[in-house]
Each structure stands twice: as structure tokens, then as C-alpha cells.
A and B are shown apart, each in its own frame.
Chain A
Amino acid sequence: MSPRRRVVITGLGPVTAHGLGIEPLWQALCEGRSALAPIRAFDARGFRAASAGELPAAFDVKELVPKSYRKATKVMARDIEIAVAGAALAVADAGLTTRGTNPDVAPTIAPDRFGCHIGAGLIAADLDELTAALTTSKDAAGRFDPSHWGAQGMQELTPLWLLKYLPNMLACHVTIIHDCQGPSNTITCNEASSGLSLSESQRVIERGAADACLSGGADSKLNPMGYLRQELAGRYAECTVDADATKVVRPFDAKASGTLAGEGGGILVVEAEETAKARGARIHAVLAGTGATQSWCDDTVGLVPDASGESLADAIETALRDAGLAAADIDAIIPYASGVPALDALERNALRRVFGAALPSKPIVQLAPSVGANLAGFGTIAAAVACRALSEQRLPARVNSTDTGDMCAAACASESRALRHILVCTPSLGGQNSAMVLSKP
């Protein structure tokens, strides 16, 4: 057996409610600032929660694509825009030249050695666009008339309509812009999507099928249909439009009552250590190990999460083994930490299984109070934060939570800390679990 290829992270491209890239996100996390605020994308007052973590109003994907590609931004759902923006940021952070940054010179990574793995959610169609078409096909009673729709109404939709909403179009646009001709995949496992995509990039690079990958995930539920699905799944805290949304999400707190949505995600450059070193790249972290498992769900679909946390614990232990580490080596943990009580309980029990009596000494980093629950984008944002924490040797502040029991999750200021290994993990609706360990280079 030959030694395994080591895989490192050389580019960070998170996209969150705090804006583009790691800088504004890291600043806000360290200051304990939250971007949760009333939703602008649609009038959300008819839902349980009227606030969320929305990308800044100034966000415009057209500014982040090559001039020649601006026309194509018309067929991008918000999820696709986030991935495309994340890729531009990650490529720039990694110092890569690609077709997207300069088509006239040789790319840093040969196109056939450049892969792409992006986690995606179920993308809901833009309601305004679809309904403008549907409304042309109504019968006398005002109901949808399939007969008129088939003969005429559907012509109101742009020919490329379907392609705005296929989950693999995130990777499609990113691979076209940056000329990634290697293995490319789209993982759709709800909250676990980003983590599983990063693990697939690790595996693809290990087996020698690529030298670098644009890897990550993106999700936006800030449209009425996607938003309703999360509400029906019991995810949201009650939060009227007048309430202070920055105080609502309280992960692991005894009084936690749900989460708020966050659109976002992004892309990381995941690269073989040998090629990263050969080109003198700055290495943010080593993607030291990953693990994936499936939970037993009594209700089959996982709306009622497996309270035992057994399978998430297995995923964490697999990631530790994969990294050649023990639980004692972990210096901080970034769980999904949504503030949804049943999910918090699952994570708490999983972490108890892995860390036992040492759990109260493991600081927990919480993203949801600051940017919302990012679903398929979570693992990417968390990994980017872990990378920054490892290089700064600092942990972000925590807010809101107070009564957190045996979890080191109560509010506190940002602090300097010796950090060698950070665990990122999440369960998902559907029961897939993902865990990864990021290590200081």
C-alpha cells in the first residue's frame, strides 16, 4: 500500500449574510455580530419567522464573473449565484489562474486535473417568473388549466427555464467559468451536502483522479416555497418582523426554540499537498480526515432526529481515525448548532459519546446565531471559519446561549487559543451525517 496523498485547503470563498469572503465573516464572528434581519427577498410576514440571514443587498453576481459570462447570470438561481461567487473568491484567495481569471495565460491547474464537487439543496423555482406564466393558463374558475398550458402557456417560460433549478447547475457554471474538466459531482444531502462534497474531493484527489478541486456547497431557502418547506420541517423559531432576530437563535441553550434561515455557502480550493507546495501556495489547513454515516430514523425520513446521536458519533470517530487522531486531539468543534432543540440534542449526545467527560472543555463555535442555518452551505462556511481560526489561533465570540449544560457553548468573547485540530460536523434531515477534521498545517 502506498502512502496516502495528503489533501490541503488553499483557497477560501465563503459567501454569507456578512458578505463576500472570509474577512467580513470572521470580523463579525469575532465581534459577536449577527446579520439576521427582516427578509427582503419576499414579504415573509405570513410565516413563523420573518427574519433570516440574507446576502447583503449590494450582492451582484455579475461583478464576480468574467465579462463574457455576464449574460449567463440570467439563468442562475440564487443558489447558483452563491456557488459562482464563492468560486471566484476561492480561486482568488488560492492565487490560482484559471480561464475565469485570465483566459490568455496557462492555468495554474491543468483543466483535466481540476475537479469540482458542490453540495446543493432542492432548488425552488422563482415564483414570480413561474406564476407570471401560469396565470396565462387559467380556466373560468380561476384554476390552472393544463390544456391551455400545454398548447400555449408554457411558451411564456424562457427555453432554459429548467436549467435554472437543476442542482447540478452550480457545478455546471463553476466548471465552465474556471475550466474544471476533471471529476465533477453534485451532492444533495441537505445539511450534510457541503461536508460530503469536501470528502469526495478528498477521495478524488487521494485516488489521483485530480490534483485540485473547487469544492463546497450553496443553498438559499429565501423564496416562499423553499422557505415553507423548512418551516413545515419544524426548523424555525418564532420571530415576528418586529422582534430582534439577532437574539433568537440560541444553540444548545435550554430555552432554544428553533433557528432562522441563512442563505449562503461557497467554495474552497481543495488541493493535493504536493502540488500546493510545488507552486508555493499558502496552506490554510490540512483536510486531515472525513467521515460519513447514516442515522437510524424511527420515522424513516428524519423529521424526528435520532436522539441517541450514535451515527453522528460514528461519523466523527471515522473522521478522527481517517485523520489518525484521537478525540483528545480536538481543540474546538463547529457543529451545525442550529438552535433547533431536537437537532441540538442529537449533536449533544453524539459529542458526549465521542468526548465523554472532556466535552465541557471543548469550545463550541456557533455560526447560526450570526448567519442563520445554512443547510447545504453549512460545511463550507464552517470549514472556512475553521481554517481562519487555525491560522489566527483564535476562536470567534459566542452570543445568546447561556444555559448550555455540559457543552462549552455559552456566550463569551472571542479569545486567543492554541488550536491544532478542529472538528466540523453535522446531521441532516434525511439522516446523513458528515464529519471532518481540519488541522493546522
Chain B
Amino acid sequence: MSTPKNNRRVVVTGMGWITPLGHEVDGVWKRLMNSDSGMGPITRFDARTFPTTFAAQVRDYDIARFVKDPSVHASAGLNSQFALGAACQAWRQSGLDGFAGLNRKRVGLYLGAGEGVLDFDNYAAANLAGWDAEQRRVDGVRWAETAHKVLEKMCEVEQEPNMPLAHLAREFGIRGPALNCLTACAASTQAIGEAFSLIQRGDADVMISGGTHTMIHVLGVTGFNRLTALSTSKGDPTKASRPFDATRDGFVMGEGSGMIVLESLEHALARGARPLAEVAGYGSSADAFRITDIHPEGRGGAASMHMALAQAGIDPLARRADGRAAIDYISAHGTGTKENDSIETKGVKRVFGEHAKDIPMSSIKSMMGHLIAAAGAVEFITCVLAIRDGMLPPTINYQTPDPALDLDYVPNKARAAKVDICLSNSFGFGGQNDTLVVKRFA
């Protein structure tokens, strides 16, 4: 194996998020420390008869509070709106908005953004109007007649998954490499990893990276309900997301965006920016196993963890000089499905061996739900905050231990800890696995 062409160090200089728990970094972090839940009844559409009636929705959000000129984003779908709010926070924190020396051709974007929300009512109306009951098919001409009347150009264009890129590029005048990846629940972790790789290679000096997504809509909930991936718990929705608990019964949908500014260390230092953390390693793998099932031994997740740790120069089976395990915290994918949580636990044990029990691992999906494509980015930000404050966010709703799941899941209450190195996992439906290692900047 040859060595990479370029080993430029890459640091985080800005972070922002729009989440079900709030719209700014420290406020949301405080709520995570308080074990708050963002779950409630679905209000985007009438879900009262659906198998799942609740989700973690972003509330009271207004992009006008964040962007320079809301009129240039007038047609933005929810996805792009969330992305703009999160990216504006990150950009401001990085100090790049006031940096006169910025070469916008050396600023890129790598997002893991989901597709936009279908104009469902009008789409359904066109489908029903076009339905030929005898032939049991949609008649193209009749469909087109209604669709041309009810479906709107901008609403359709804004559903393309690269539209958050377009909105962010417009807001910040970005002219460098711009990519969007969509590997389901792994997307924004993968985006951050590839953004890191582009800076390392020298293709850009600054990258805005992260993810944005909402699937809280009729066909999104339908699709995941049919896959039986969502929690269908009755009663208090704040108790529905129960990662690693023996009674877990599926994930709870969240929505929102997490965005970070990544920068080559030399670029950050040259302009006097303060690095918040350093990206130390990135790993990516595919399960190549089955369409719906994860490899039972956690092979793919273990491979992406191994790859990320190797790049960071960390031996997972060694202890540090002060006796600590190789890393201090794992931000779990931890969806709360039976399969994910048990296989993720197996995968972590496969990588860290007997040290796995000494490494706290929690899932903030217990509090803010699963942001799907955006999940990895908010979890990465959580890792940086854990390093900053020496605090680990909890896995809430952990009441009934599962005998097979015997790691330290930071149950129910945030915990103070010495945190210098974190690992963040994201695993996508379809078998893509991604891992980031982030460490204290020194």
C-alpha cells in the first residue's frame, strides 16, 4: 500500500446545527447534557392512524435569522433551509465571513444531504387522476394533464439532492469542489470524511461539510414503517427511542442539519483562527452482504473503524501512557433497532477487544431522533463538544439492560470525563459504513 500524496493536517474551525432540540450549538448541547428529548407528535401531516405517530421535528425555525438575503433562498425546501441555518452558524464561528483574504475557488462543499420533500398532496392528486382502474396502470396522458396543472417547477427542482449545495454555494460564494453524497444514514459522516480527504490532497483549503435531511413526510414514514424500522411504541413519545435497551423497538425519525467548517491547519493558523479539534482519521467500507440485513458479526462497521483508527495512528488494542484505553468516547450509530445496536456492539468489541468495556459509547439519537443523512454530522459536532467540555452526552431511556449488550452506554445522565479522542460511527441502510476519528487539537 502506498502512502497518500499529501498529509496536510485538517482542523475544525466552525460548527452549527439546526435540530429538534434547538437552533444553536450551545443551547442544544445544554439540552443534551440535561437528557432532554425532542420527540413529539408528527404535525407535518395527519399521521394519527400511522403505525408511528411521533417524531423529533425542528420547531419554530426561520432562516431569515441566519442568511444574508432570504429572497435568494425563497424556493428552498426544508432540507436547504436547515442546511443554510447550520452552515451560517459554522461559517460565522470560523471567522471566514470577515476574512478578506479568502480565495473562494479554494473553498469547497461536500455534503451528505438527503433528497427534498415530495409535493405529496399534488403528486397523489395527479396519480389518482391518471389511474386507469381497468388496466391497473397510470395513463401517461391523463397523469400529465393533471400534473402540469398542479406540480410547480421550483418545488420539483428543489427536491434534487444537490440543491442544498446550490443554496450554500450561493450564500457563501463558494467556487471550489462541490459534491453531495447520499449513502442513507451514513451520508454526512462520509461527506466529512471525503471533505477531509479533499483538503489533505490539496484540492481545497476550506470545506463546508455536513448533512441535512428530513423524511418526516407521508412516504418517508410509510417507507420506514413498511420496513418495520421505526419504533411503534405507544404512550409517551419521549420514551420511544431506546438505544441499547432490551426493550428497544426501532428508531425515531428526527430531522435537521449539522454543518462544520474544515480547514487545512496551515490555512487556519495563517489567518489566526482557533482550531476547535482536529480530524485524525476516516474509514469507509461496504457490508456487501444483504439488501436489508447488516453483516451479523459487524464486519463492515469494524472495517471502517479499523481504517479510521489506522489513519489516525491509533492501535485500538493498546493503552495510552496514562492507562486510558486507546480512545475516550464513541458516538454510536445507536439507532435503537434490535439489529443495529447489537451488531454495533459486536463490531466495537471486535475492534477494541477487552478494552471495549472501558470506552463509553452513547447515542444522542435517544434524544434528538435519527436525522438520517444528517445524523453523522450532528454526532460529529457532539464529539467536538465532548472534547471541549470534558462531558459525555447520555443515552436516555436506558432502563432494561440487554444481556448481550454489555458496554458502557452512558445511561441516562451526562458524565464528566477526560476526553481527548473520539470516534463517531454511521452505518447506512444498504451497507455503507463510515467512521471518523476526531481529537483535541494540540
Contacts and interface: CB of A to CB of B under 8 A. Distances in A.
Nearest to B200: A207
Contact of B432 (A134, A185, A300): A185
A297 interface: yes
Most buried by B among A45, A132, A179, A430: A430
B396 interface: no
Contacts, number: 312
Nearest to A39: B140
Given A4-B5, A44-B140, A163-B430, A301 B285 contact: no
B47 interface: yes
B131 interface: yes
Contacts of A184: 183, 284-286, 431-432
A203 B197 CA distance: 8
A188 B184 CA distance: 12
Given A46-B141, A167-B161, A182-B286, A134 B179 contact: no
Interface stretch (A123-131, A261-269, A333-341, A386-394): A123-131
B166 A175 contact: no
Interface stretch (B26-34, B169-177, B339-347, B379-387): B169-177
Contacts of B131: 131, 135
B138 A168 contact: no
B292 A163 contact: yes
A430 B173 contact: no
Nearest to A144: B124
Most buried by B among A154, A180, A297: A154
A122 B2 contact: no
Contact of B179 (A169, A187, A209, A291): A187
Contacts of B178: 189, 292-294, 431-432
Interface stretch (A228-236, A250-258, A347-355, A406-414): A228-236
A422 interface: no
A206 B156 CA distance: 38
Contacts of B225: 154
B404 interface: no
Contacts of A168: 182-184, 428-430, 432
Nearest to B215: A162
Nearest to A211: B1
A209 B196 CA distance: 14
A20 to B, nearest CB: 24
Which of B45, B200, B286: most chain A Cβ within 10 A?
B286
B194 A46 contact: no
Contact of A188 (B108, B182, B218): B182
Contacts of A200: 179, 194
Interface of B: 1-6, 45-51, 72-73, 75, 105, 108-109, 115, 121, 123-125, 127-128, 130-131, 133, 136-145, 147-148, 151, 153-154, 156-163, 165-167, 169-170, 173-184, 190, 194, 197-198, 200-201, 203, 218-219, 222-228, 284-292, 299-300, 303, 307, 428-432
Given A134-B128, A314-B105, A430-B163, 11 more contacts: A46-B145, A111-B288, A127-B130, A149-B222, A154-B222, A168-B430, A187-B180, A189-B165, A292-B108, A292-B179, A294-B176
